Structure formats: structure tokens, C-alpha cells
Amino acid sequence: MKITRHPTESGQDWWAVIHDLSIAGATLMRLRPIHVFTFLAQHLPGLGDKKRIFYYCHALENKLFAVRYQSYELRKAIAEWNDILYQDAYIRDYEDQQKIIAVLEAFLNSIYSSLEITALINKTINPQLPQSFSKQAEKGTFFNLKRWDWICYFYDLRRELEHFGTALPLMTSTSILIEISRPKKNYALIKGRWEVQFASIFSFALRLFEMLDQWALLELKKIDPNIELDLAHRPRPNQRWRQKKIKVRTILNMIKKTTEKTEVTEPGPKPGGPEERKG
């Protein structure tokens, strides 16, 4: 996302937040399909409210940034806690573990928010769908839980840490130990003690982007490739910004080169889950 300043006739400039791909040349950077989708989604055919999907897509970009940012913060918090140069043999400050728990919850919440915004976009495209992501996933849509089994473990872990019994989870250098006490609404984790590897938790972010990329590729096929877009263009750094025409096809061809080997229309279930039962 970029912030741009625009002069007005009144002499008072106003600012606008725009998508990265609104600027010519940005198409050479970070062309994951989901980012292209958030830029082009308003051009999907048959939309009743283009403004709504425009706002939702910008919101999703913010949430996906939060996922990347909180992933980095979680790695940093774990690294600081594992610093053996400052660990006492008998007494250690619990604040470092509290920091991990706080950042872990923020990381999981950023993924949850991304899923919920995605569901709102999907409902705008398909009005017959329910509003929440979990309800859409249970109804056999593209986001079916059988296809994306990691979501089951993600929901259960977040629910336990956010709402239920494991207020003070135990930790090792590589994992977190939680106690599932009320599994009635869980998808995968039954009652008992579970050891969750940090590597599995970090994989939630990668799997989120992989899932959204595949969804984006399917939706982008519906957009007319001949639609012309206006991009901001500046030939030289000291020159004024101008408008540059580009067709949707140009952007789609660029992402096709990087995704054609991995594109699928019916993704199969991922093997296994990220958690292991501790006896």
C-alpha cells in the first residue's frame, strides 16, 4: 500500500491510500496472485457493490501485512527468550514468556481477521454464502475444511489461547504446551495436553497465503483481460506523475509465468496437522 498526496484547486492537498499496483512498475514486485486479486477484484463481472469489495480488498491487504509483521515479531520474541547468555539457572523473568504469548495471540488474531475479511469478499461475490469464514468453510465452498485441514488446528489453537483454559501455557525452546479442557466446539484437538511446535504455528502464515493465492487464481479468470486500467506513471524522478494505460491481460500474464506450475483448480487436503498429542 502507498500513501499519495494530491494538490487541489483550493490549495490544500489531500492524501489517499492506494494499492501498490496502482503505480506503474510496481507490477514487477511481490506479484503474488492474492495481491493482484485485491487490486483487480472490483472488475469482477456481476458485482452489485463495487465500492464495498474495493474497501474489503484494501482491508485484506492491511490484515495480510499484519500477518507478516506479527510473524516477524513472534520469531524475535522467541529468539530473545532463548538467549542463553542471559538465562539464570534458578530464576528467570517470566516477562519474556508473556511477550511470546502476547505476540502469539496477535499473530493468530491477524490470521483470523484475514480469514474473516476474505469471507466478506467471498460473500460480496457470492451473496448466497454465510458471512463468517468458518460457516463458509463448513458449507463446502472453495475453503472447505477437508481441503485446508490446517484451518481446523488453527481455529482450535486460537480458541484455546484466546477464550479458554490455557491462560499460562508452558514453553520449550521449540514448542508450546497447552491443555484442552473444553473441546466441544473444536475441529481437531480433543481433550488433553497438546504440544504445538512453533514451526507448525509459523506454517499457518505460509498456508494462508498459499490458500488465498489459489483462490485468487480462480477468481481472476472471471475478469475480462481486455479491461484498461489507469496507472500512475513518472518517466523520471523529477517529472510529474502521468497516467499510463495498461490492460488487465498484461498483469495476468506476469503472474501466470510464476504460478502456472503450481496452479490447481481442486486443491487436495494437506497431509496431517501441525500438532502432536503429548501423552
pLDDT band at 257 (very low <50, low <70, confident <90, very high): low
Entry pTM: 0.82
CB atoms within 10 A of CB 193: 13
Amino acid letter at 35? H
Distances (CA, A) of 234 to 15, 240, 264: 18, 6, 37
More confident residue, 127 or 168: 127
Instruction: Report domain extents, the chain.
Output: 2-277
DSSP string, 139-186: TTSTT-TTT-THHHHHHHHHHHHHHSS-SS-EE-SSEEEEEE---TT-
CB atoms within 10 A of CB 133: 23
Q: From edge to edge, which strands make up the β-sheet containing 170-171?
A: 170-171, 175-180, 192-197, 275-277
What is the predicted pLDDT for the residue at 226? 93
Residues 269, 149: Cα–Cα separation, whole Å: 6
Residue 271 has pLDDT above 60, yes or no: no
Cell of 81: 527468550
Strand partners, 175: 197
- Looking at the chain, list the stretches that DSSP marks H as alpha helix, in order from N- to C-terminal side: 33-40, 50-81, 95-125, 133-138, 150-163, 198-220, 248-259
Q: In the predicted model, what is the mean pLDDT of residues 254-266?
A: 56
Residues 240, 234: Cα–Cα separation, whole Å: 6
Q: Which of 128, 143, 122 is nearest to 38 (CA)?
A: 122
More confident residue, 5 or 243: 243
Question: Taking the CA of residue 83 as centre, how many other CA atoms within 13 Å lie in the half-sphere pointing to its CB?
Answer: 12
More confident residue, 180 or 12: 180
Tens digit of each residue's pLDDT (9 = 90 or more) over 86-107: 555 556 666 778 888 889 999 9
Tens digit of each residue's pLDDT (9 = 90 or more) over 29-84: 567 899 999 989 999 998 877 889 989 999 999 999 999 999 999 999 888 876 55
Q: Please name the residues in contact with 192: beta carbons below 8 A apart, sequence gap of 6 or more.
A: 179, 180, 277, 278
What is the predicted pLDDT for the residue at 129? 92
Amino acid letter at 69? Y
Q: Which of 156, 153, 180 is nearest to 169 (CA)?
A: 180
What is the predicted pLDDT for the residue at 191? 80
Residue 149 has pLDDT above 70, yes or no: yes
CB atoms within 10 A of CB 181: 11
Tens digit of each residue's pLDDT (9 = 90 or more) over 153-212: 999 888 888 876 556 677 777 888 888 777 677 888 778 888 889 999 999 999 999 999
Mean pLDDT of all residues belonging to the chain: 79
The number of residues in the chain equals 279
